[in-house]
Structure 1
Amino acid sequence: MAGGKKAKNMAHTAKGKVKETTGKATGNESLEFKGRAEQMKGDAKQTAQKAKDTLKH
């Protein structure tokens, strides 16, 4: 996987985890759900990139 894309996707996942945790701590359900969504977005992009890399080799 390209290093830059991998880092970007991992950043989405980490950023989502922070949002989710902050939402849980403050009782803000909206922030918590946005965090979960961002984590899923990052995970999906990582999976897609790994599949592309697998097909290239």
Structure 2
Amino acid sequence: MSKAKAKAKQVKGKMKETTGKAMDDESMQVEGRGEQIAGKAQETADKAAGRVKRTGR
């Protein structure tokens, strides 16, 4: 997954969380937070993979 896709997933999750708050829908809020976390984890993994490629290890 590219950095852009990871960021998009984070944004989508934030929008879902905000919508859930506005609608008082706790399950939507939790789902949104989960998407944000998944996006952040993927972004971190992409950064780590990039560092490994640059160092040649």
Counterpart of 1:29 (choices 26, 44, 53) is 26
Give the ranges of 4+ consecutive aligned residues of structure 1 lying more than 6 Å apart after TM superposition.
none
What is the alpha-carbon root mean square deviation over aligned residues? 1.0
- Gaps (5+ residues) in structure 2? none
- Gaps (5+ residues) in structure 1? none
Counterpart of 1:39 (choices 11, 36, 53) is 36
The size of the alignment, in residue pairs, is: 54
Q: Which has the larger radius of gyration?
A: 2
Query: Given the two structures, how large is their TM-score scaled by the length of structure 2?
Result: 0.90
For 1:51 and 1:16, how far apart are their aligned partners in 2? 23
| Amino acid of the structure 2 residue aligned with 1:24 | K
**Identical columns (%):** 50
Q: Which residue of 2 aligns with 1:9?
A: 6
